[in-house]
Amino acid sequence: MKKERYCVYNPFTKLVMSYRNPKRPLHNPLTRVSGVSVRRYMLDQPALLADVEQTHILYVVGHCSPGSSQISSGGEDDESIDADELARRTRMNGLPLDRLKMKLWACNAGRGTLFHRAFARKLIRSLRKVGYSQIAVDAYTLTLGKRQSFDDGLWHNRAYGKQGEQVRASAHRRTFR
């Protein structure tokens, strides 16, 4: 059986930092696992994402809150970008226009509020503007949990429920088209 491949894209010029441990990058455990590539946005690298295949699971990492208009890198030198800028950076870094799916690994990016749409909804519209006509965005509606390696299958399937209990993140994932 072919092992799934993952690509973690940091759309910020700085590392995305963990809120629980501000000295640790959010994707730090991923760099030690085979089959995972971590790529950070760079202005002068137009082909950074060009080799991401349809079979790769593309995660975009950041921090978000319900109905937010931006995602951020967290940490002391917090950097925030809106959906238009994220779409522009993704396009500028060469993600193929025929890409079918990406996942936002950001707390509550799939949840809106009474007056504000979910960040993922805003992102899908921005991606359409820059040429991604077929792409779907998966986003989570809860606080995402402890990151663990992909090898044990737990890194991308932990979240915290309303009472703080650990639940499967996939049960609280929405797809935006």
Query: Between residues 168 and 67, which one has the greater pLDDT?
Result: 67
Give per-residue pLDDT as tens, 74-86: 877 788 999 999 9
Give per-residue pLDDT as tens, 108-133: 999 999 999 999 999 999 999 999 99
Residue 40 has pLDDT above 50, yes or no: yes
pLDDT of residue 30: 38
Residue 102's pLDDT band (cuts 50, 70, 90): very high
Q: Can you list the alpha helix ranges (DSSP code H) found in the chain?
A: 83-92, 119-129
- What are the strands, taking DSSP E only, across 20-123? 36-40, 57-61, 70-72, 80-82, 101-105
Task: Record the pTM.
Answer: 0.82
30, 59 contact by CB (below 8 A): no
Residue 27 has pLDDT above 60, yes or no: no
94/151 Cα distance (integer angstroms): 28
Q: What is the mean pLDDT of residues 18-41?
A: 53
